[in-house]
Structures are given as structure tokens and as C-alpha cells.
């Protein structure tokens, strides 16, 4: 009798497996594993889908910066969502205020200030310790606060010594973030197991070989200064591919004075970012580093806002040069401008973009500086201001070789410049031209560059995000 028990139990187990997963219920056919309910991502707020396509990248003419011919190249780019308009002052202020509020919450929980423990979460609902994090469910006591709470709040503000105006201390608006460089970790030469570093299995890898990696780290020194540095050390674990950066994210409002010699632009320096009258104008004075930090924060903000833990979304990021160019050209090689192959019209009341149509004629198109976003017609993808208004950062590192160093599928050239690198290696590609440029430089196929730590009065940005699936 005992001999019959085992086969019966095996049949019962197989039958139960068939109901839940891989079993005999499929009739022996290859049907794949159950995938469950597929979550179809909705279009992100204020973004449009740029559908995958192929085009010839580059102008095939004279590069605007180096004065050398940059060849065209046939490339293909996958789907991505893109902000329909440039990031505005109002949208960027949401980032600045989040950073401000996070600093205040840290200090409200700090015993050196208010010592309010409920502003920091240190244990879960069961009383078990967790990684400490800020408690955003408790409002900041802006009014009816204690003396200690008032001191914590006021610590992020300063009073101008001359005007006596109370203002946010821009030097404190620092955002710290980490990222895992999965692409670098995936390279065969960086595998933790030496046996995985070779393809030919007849050749034994040297287990004693030391693989050196570069790792970015950051901290605030005793003087309150940001220190970002790159260290080189032997590869030890996947944590060696986790990088840290601290960025001051407050826009450089002085760019309005420093970008233009002998010009009366103090008014813009005082008002362009701060006054509500410019709330819906594109933010400027933001460096590539700060724009990248904005994308990291926007991803963090979205993921924390999603209530479903099973929902996975890709990160917000700056567009690659190839993505930006394809989006601006509406996916068509013949389109040198967002509206088509022909140059911008320069007739009164018929301007298709905010640019400088003639010598000193900044206001000929009825806009002297960056116009409010969506002031001109969108292209066929539904994207506004892809020519003129403000030039835009891309994620692509600048090189005079142009697209020749890139793949022809989802092209991108990245270089994570270390602090000690020569300054020319810290340039990023800028696209689209701006309100101060003539029509040639607002062409979609032209390219320019700027140092990654410089904010300019004529450079802004917009974000993209890759959809998951098809």
C-alpha cells in the first residue's frame, strides 16, 4: 500500500501546478509563462509621444562651433515621450521649493533646531527599524510655530545686506542623488566573476587580475562647499557602480548680466525667475548638471506619488541629441526646421519662432527675450518651441566627430567628465538655437555646445521618458 502513496502525491502536485503556472494543463504545448495583468502606461502629464523612426542625422554642412563639415548618418530611434514645451520657471520652482522643504524638514527633526521626531520616519508600522527618511505627510508649521521651529524655517533664508529683502539662500539649495550605472556594470570587462570576462572558454581568466573602476562621490566640506570628486579603486562589488552627486540647483540669475556686456539687463536678473509675470516662460540659467538633477528629482517625485508598488516606470532624463533632432524634425530628414524644409518666415505677424531675424532685431517677432512657452505653433508631433526661444540641453557629450562615434541605433555618446578632466571634455550638446540667434542657428539639424556647469540666459531644457513595452 505504501508504494501507491508516492505516485498519487506526485499527480496531485502536478495537477495543482497546472492551475497556477507551468503544468500539464496546457496539453504539452509551448504557451509561455503567465504574465498576469499588463499595466499600460498612460501618457505622462504634459508630454507627447514621439514615435520610433529613421532619418539622416546631422546637417552634412558646416558645424556651427568648429567650422568643419559634419557628415550625415542614417539612424533609427525608438519611441519616447517628450515634454510638449520647455520646462518653465513655475515648474522648476516646484523643484526648488521641494529642495527647500526637504532641508527644513531635516532641520525640524534635528535636535540642534526643533528636534521634532515626527518629521523623520525611523521605523515601520510594526515598530521595526527602517532606513531613516523624511516624513512628508506632516505639514511644515509655517505659522503658529515654536521659537525652535521658526529658527529651522528661517535657516534657509537670508536678508540682503543692502536692500534688506528676505530671500531664499540659493547657496543652500543643494540636491543629492545617487544612480546605478547598469550599462558600465554590464560590460564584460567589469564582471565580478573573472571567468565571465572572456568569451573563449578554452582561455582561463586570471582570477588575480585587478580591475580598476572610477566612482563618483560627493560631500559638503566644513566650509559648506560642495565637493564632487571621482575616485579610482579596485572593483569589489556592484556598489562600485553606484555614484553620488550633489548639485546646487538654483538658477544662475546673474547670467542676464554676465552673458551681455554693457547691457541694461539688471531688470531680468531681479525678476525673470522670481516674478509671477514670468511664471510660464522657460527657465534659464540652469546648468546641464542642474537639469540632470531635475530629471532625477522628477523621477523620485513620480515614483513616490504612484500608489501601486507593482508599477514600474523608466526614469525621466534629458533627451539624447538623436532623440531631440528627430523630434524637432518631425521624424523627416528633409525637415531642417520643425515646420518643414524652408527657413523661418521673417514677415511681420508671420514669425514661426522666437529668434533674431536681423542685426539687433530681437524684438522684430514681438519678443525681446524668451517668450512664454507655446507662443508659436507646434510641429506635427505636438512639440512647441523646438526652434528658437531657448536652446536646450541634451544628454550627449560634445565632440567634433559628431555622430560618427555613435551607433546607428538609438545613437548616444556619453562621457561622464571627472572634476580633474580638462575643461573641453565637459561640454554637452545644445540644440535648437534661441531667442538671440539668427535663423541658421535655430535649424533642427545644427548643433552647438556649452560647458556642463554653466547656466546661460538662452539655454533651457525639457525632459523625455522611455515607455516600457511597445
Mean pLDDT is highest, among 23-32, 82-91, 399-408, 413-422, for 82-91
pLDDT at 84: 98
pLDDT of residue 13 exceeding 80: no
**Per-residue confidence band for 110, with pLDDT thresholds at 50, 70 and 90:** very high
Instruction: Tell me the C-alpha distance between 95 and 92, whole Å.
Output: 5
Residues in the chain: 470
Q: Model confidence over 170-201: pLDDT tens digits?
A: 999 999 999 999 999 999 999 998 888 887 76
pLDDT at 68: 60
pLDDT at 416: 87
Helix (H, G, I), strand (E, B) or coil at 338: coil
pLDDT at 132: 87
Going by C-alpha positions, the residue among 373, 383, 374, 259 that lies closest to residue 325 is 383
Cα dihedral: 6, 8, 11, 12 (round 10) = -110
SS3 of 193-253: the string is: CHHHHCCCCCCCCCCCCCCEEEEEEEEECCCCCEEEEEEEEECCCHHHHEEEEEEECCCCC
- Pair 394, 461: CB distance under 8 Å: no
- Is the domain spanning 47-86+283-465 CATH 3.40.50.300? The answer is no
pLDDT of residue 401 exceeding 60: yes
Q: By mean pLDDT, which of 93-97, 321-325, 444-448, 466-470 is the weakest? A: 466-470
pLDDT at 410: 95
pLDDT of residue 361 exceeding 60: yes
Q: Model confidence over 440-454: pLDDT tens digits?
A: 999 999 999 999 999
pLDDT of residue 14 exceeding 50: no
C-alpha dihedral sign at 423, 400, 287, 463: negative
Who has greater pLDDT, 278 or 346?
A: 278
Neighbours of 175 (CB within 10 A): 21
Quickly tell me which residue has 547691457 as its cell. Answer: 263
**What is the share, in percent, of the chain residues with pLDDT greater than 70?**
90
Instruction: Tell me the C-alpha distance between 81 and 225, whole Å.
Output: 36
pLDDT at 5: 47
| Mean pLDDT of the region 60-82 | 77
**Per-residue confidence band for 7, with pLDDT thresholds at 50, 70 and 90:** very low
pLDDT at 173: 97
Instruction: Tell me the C-alpha distance between 321 and 247, whole Å.
Output: 23
SS3 of the chain: the string is: CHHHHHHHHHHHHHHHHHHHCCCHHHCCCCCCCCCCCCCCCCCCCCEEEECCEEEEECCCCECCCCCCECCCEEEEECCEEEECCCCEHHHHHHHHHHHHHHHHHHHHHCCCCCCCHHHEEEECCCCCEEEEEECCCCCCCCCCCCHHHHHHHHCCEEECCCCCCEEECHHHCEEEEEEECHHHHHCHHHCCCHHHHCCCCCCCCCCCCCCEEEEEEEEECCCCCEEEEEEEEECCCHHHHEEEEEEECCCCCCHHHHCCCCCCCHHHHHHCCCCHHHCCCECCCCCHHHHHHHHHHHHHHHHHHCCCCCCCCCCCECCCHHHHHHHHCCCCCCCCECCECCCCCCCCCCCCCECCCCCCCHHHHCCCCCCCCCCCCCCCCCCCCCCECCEEEEEEECCCCHHHHCCCECCCCCCCCCCCCCHHHHEEEEECCCCCCCHHHHCCCCCEEEECCCCCCCEECCCEECCCCC
Q: Model confidence over 300-344: pLDDT tens digits?
A: 999 988 876 667 889 999 999 999 999 999 999 999 999 999 877
pLDDT at 67: 61
Per-domain residue ranges of the chain: 47-86+283-465, 174-248
**What is the share, in percent, of the chain residues with pLDDT greater than 90?**
65
| Mean pLDDT of the region 239-257 | 97
pLDDT at 308: 67
Per the confidence metrics, is the pTM higher than 0.85? Answer: yes
pLDDT at 403: 86
pLDDT of residue 224 exceeding 90: no
Mean pLDDT of the chain: 89
Q: By mean pLDDT, which of 4-18, 76-90, 234-248, 345-359 is the weakest? A: 4-18
pLDDT at 69: 66
Helix (H, G, I), strand (E, B) or coil at 456: coil
Q: Model confidence over 132-143: pLDDT tens digits?
A: 889 999 999 999
Instruction: Tell me the C-alpha distance between 103 and 165, whole Å.
Output: 21
Instruction: Tell me the C-alpha distance between 202 and 107, whole Å.
Output: 60
Neighbours of 360 (CB within 10 A): 7
Helix pair angle (89-109, 147-154), 10° resolution: 140
Amino acid at each position: 500500500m505504501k508504494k501507491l502513496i508516492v505516485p498519487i502525491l506526485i499527480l496531485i502536485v502536478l495537477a495543482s501546478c497546472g492551475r497556477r503556472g507551468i503544468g500539464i494543463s496546457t496539453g504539452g504545448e509551448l504557451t509561455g509563462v503567465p504574465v498576469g495583468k499588463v499595466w499600460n502606461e498612460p501618457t505622462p502629464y504634459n508630454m507627447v509621444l514621439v514615435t520610433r523612426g529613421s532619418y539622416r542625422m546631422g546637417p552634412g554642412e558646416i558645424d556651427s562651433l568648429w567650422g568643419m563639415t559634419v557628415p550625415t548618418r542614417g539612424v533609427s530611434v525608438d519611441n519616447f515621450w517628450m515634454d510638449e514645451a520647455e520646462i518653465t520657471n513655475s515648474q522648476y520652482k516646484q523643484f526648488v521649493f521641494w529642495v527647500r522643504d526637504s532641508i527644513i524638514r531635516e532641520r525640524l527633526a534635528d535636535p540642534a533646531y526643533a528636534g521634532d521626531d515626527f518629521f523623520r520616519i525611523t521605523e515601520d508600522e510594526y515598530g521595526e527599524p527602517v532606513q531613516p527618511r523624511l516624513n512628508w505627510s506632516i505639514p511644515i508649521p509655517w505659522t503658529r510655530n515654536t521659537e525652535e521651529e521658526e529658527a529651522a524655517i528661517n535657516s534657509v533664508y537670508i536678508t540682503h545686506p543692502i536692500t534688506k529683502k528676505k530671500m531664499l539662500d540659493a547657496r543652500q539649495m543643494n540636491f543629492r542623488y545617487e544612480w546605478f550605472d547598469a550599462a558600465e556594470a554590464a560590460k564584460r570587462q567589469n564582471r565580478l566573476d573573472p571567468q565571465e570576462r572572456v568569451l573563449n572558454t578554452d582561455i582561463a581568466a586570471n582570477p588575480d587580475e585587478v580591475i580598476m573602476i572610477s566612482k563618483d562621490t560627493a560631500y559638503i566640506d566644513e566650509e559648506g562647499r560642495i565637493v564632487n570628486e571621482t575616485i579610482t579603486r579596485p572593483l569589489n562589488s556592484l556598489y562600485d557602480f553606484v555614484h553620488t552627486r550633489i548639485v546646487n540647483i538654483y538658477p544662475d540669475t546673474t547670467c542676464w548680466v554676465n552673458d551681455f556686456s554693457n547691457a541694461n539687463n539688471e531688470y531680468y536678473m531681479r525678476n525673470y525667475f522670481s516674478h509671477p509675470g514670468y511664471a510660464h516662460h522657460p527657465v534659464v540659467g540652469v546648468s546641464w548638471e542642474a537639469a540632470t538633477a531635475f530629471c532625477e528629482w522628477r523621477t523620485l517625485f513620480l515614483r513616490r506619488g504612484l500608489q501601486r508598488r507593482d508599477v514600474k516606470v523608466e526614469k525621466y532624463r534629458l533627451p539624447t541629441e538623436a532623440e531631440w533632432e528627430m523630434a524637432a524634425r518631425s521624424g523627416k530628414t528633409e525637415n531642417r526646421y520643425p515646420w518643414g524644409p524652408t527657413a523661418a518666415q521673417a514677415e511681420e505677424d508671420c514669425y514661426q519662432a522666437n529668434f533674431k531675424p536681423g542685426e539687433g532685431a530681437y524684438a522684430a517677432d514681438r519678443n525681446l527675450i524668451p517668450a512664454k512657452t507655446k507662443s508659436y505653433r507646434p510641429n506635427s508631433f505636438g512639440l512647441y518651441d523646438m526652434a528658437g526661444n531657448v536652446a536646450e540641453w541634451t544628454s550627449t557629450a560634445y565632440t567634433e566627430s559628431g555622430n560618427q562615434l555613435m551607433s546607428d541605433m538609438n545613437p548616444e555618446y556619453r562621457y561622464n567628465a571627472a572634476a580633474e578632466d580638462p575643461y573641453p571634455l565637459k561640454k554637452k550638446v545644445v540644440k535648437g538655437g534661441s531667442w538671440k540667434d539668427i535663423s541658421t542657428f535655430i535649424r533642427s539639424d545644427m548643433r552647438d555646445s556649452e560647458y556642463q556647469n554653466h547656466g546661460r540666459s538662452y539655454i533651457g531644457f525639457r525632459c523625455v521618458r522611455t515607455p516600457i513595452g511597445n
